[in-house]
Structure 1
Amino acid sequence: MAVYLNIATQLRDEIHTQYAAGDLLPSEHQLAKRFNVNRHTVRRAVDELVQDGLIRRFQGLGNQVVSTPIDYALDNPSCFTYNLSKKGLPLDTVVLGCKAETLNPLLAEKLDLALDTPVVVIKTCRCIDNKPSTLIRHHLFNVDIEQMQRFASGSLHQFLHKHYGYEATRGNTRLRARMPTFDECRQLAMGRGIPVMEIHSRYYLKQTSHLMEYAISISRSDIFEYSVEP
């Protein structure tokens, strides 16, 4: 095995056992001295760790260990609070807005619904350990605005179950990666260099198979790792 790969393997093991998220690795000069190699060899080893997503380079700061991504399973049932509460993560929901609308032409065509279909749109920011991680735009059908304006925290699907008896099942889900807008960077407290994952999800009522919700979520890609079950 090449020398730089041996160094990368050893550093990878040390990151998993001796470092926490936010810690800095020793400088490349220190690592070169430790392993008795030149800095070019160390840099190639560090490149391997960057590609693995274990560290991130910061100009003037050094090589910083990043947090382990949260495994987010896009299975059924699957919604934000349900998925992450199973992992014991401290979650908060901040409601950014709630209003009654009618579907715009593009979304109506995508969902095969009439243009005048009433919908309640709720915008939320989901926080993990008091840090913003995901923005969600919920399009809710067959609900009334007065009731939904009472939603203030916790799981939206639990709220719908409590007040309407709704039970949802996940339908079609589409994912794409893109760079964030300035406003998304501000709301998610992130830099422009970190991509986001945009996920479009459909949820249907178990009782009738009617569309209950169309959700568009924008999540920091450095926080989540998505898995899809067959």
Structure 2
Amino acid sequence: MAVYLTIATQLRDEIRNHYSHGDMLPSEHQLAKRFNVNRHTLRRAVDELVHDGLVRRYQGLGNQVVGAPIDYALNHPSCFTHNLSKMGLLLDTEVLGCREEPLGEALASRLQLPADTGIVLIRTCRCIDEQPATLMRHHLFNVDIRQMVRFRSGSLHRFLQQSYGYRALRGTTRLRARMPTFDECSQLKIGRGIPVMEIHSRYYLQGSGSLMEYAISISRGDLFEYSVEP
């Protein structure tokens, strides 16, 4: 086995047995001295840990141990803010934009609706413990832009319930893993080696069954582990 892989294996075992979420590893200089290797070899070993999702590298600060992934259930009443708040996580919502526009050809074809169907598009960034975790695009039907520009933080579904009496149920959900774009890396503060999970979700109004929202979320692959309930 290559030297850097041997070091990575030993560090992997030490992280699992002796480190907690948020702990910093010794500096790469200290680790290189400990294992009697050059900095290049040590860095390759740490790269393996980063790719495994066990360590996050911060330029100028060092290498931090990452906690276990968040177990997120994609169930019928699923609501991002509500579900994560129940886990005791500190959440924040940053609204990146809110505007009216037509649905567009691509989504219209997928939803079997006219391309000129009017929607309100809200873009948000959801942060967990002050770290960007998920980018979301909310395509909202049958809402008023004058009301939706008032949404600034918290749960969007709760805002819709308070504003319109809407109660939503999750419908069809599609998931795919992919590598992030440069813009997504910048917004989520991740390297190109960390994959993202892209989730497309339909939400329908409880009672009438009409389409309320088509949401597209881009989440860091190193933070979440998804479970799908029947």
Return the TM-score normalized by structure 1. 0.80
Shift in CA distance, 54/169, structure 1 to aligned 2, threshold 3 Å:
same
How far 1:8 moved relative to its partner?
A: 8.3
**RMSD, aligned α-carbons:** 3.1
| Amino acid across the alignment from 2:167 | E
Q: Is the 8 A contact 1:12 1:49 kept in 2?
A: no
- Is 1:14 aligned to 2:17, yes or no? yes
Distance 1:46 1:133, change over 3 A: closer
**Offset, 1:49:** 7.1
Residue 198 of structure 2: aligned partner: 198
> Which residue number corresponds to residue 24 of structure 1?
25
Q: Tell me, yes or no, if the aligned pair for 1:202 and 1:215 is still in contact at 8 Å.
A: yes
Return 5+ residue gaps in structure 2 as ranges: 1-5, 37-44
**Post-superposition shift, 1:11?**
3.4
- Report the CA distance shift for 1:65/1:163 in structure 2 as closer, same or farther (over 3 A): same
Cα distance change on mapping 1:22 and 1:77 into 2, 3 Å? same
**CA-to-partner distance for each residue in 1:24-71, whole Å, 9 max, x for gaps?**
168487479xxxxxxxxxxxx99997786434689xx99753222111
In the alignment, does 2:184 pair up with 1:184?
Answer: yes
Q: What are structure 1's unaligned runs of at least 5 residues? A: 33-44
Residues 133 and 9 of structure 1: CA distance in aligned 2, closer, same or farther (over 3 Å): closer
Per the TM alignment, residue 181 of structure 1 is displaced from its structure 2 partner at its CA by 1.1
Contact 1:8 1:48 in 2 (8 A): no
> Aligned residue pairs: how many?
215
The 1-side partners of 2:56 and 2:150 are apart by 42
Instruction: Give the C-alpha shift of residue 19 in structure 1.
Output: 3.2
Percentage of pairs with the same residue: 64
Question: Deviation above 6 Å: which 4+ runs of structure 1?
Answer: 6-9, 45-52
TM-score by length of 2: 0.80
Aligned residue runs from structure 1 range 14-163, under 5 A: 14-15=17-18, 18-24=19-25, 27=31, 30=34, 53-55=53-55, 65-163=65-163
Summarize the Cα distance change of 1:21–1:106 in structure 2 as closer, same or farther, 3 Å threshold. Answer: same
Q: Partners of 1:187 and 1:49 in 2: how far apart?
A: 23
SS, match of residue 147 in structure 2: helix
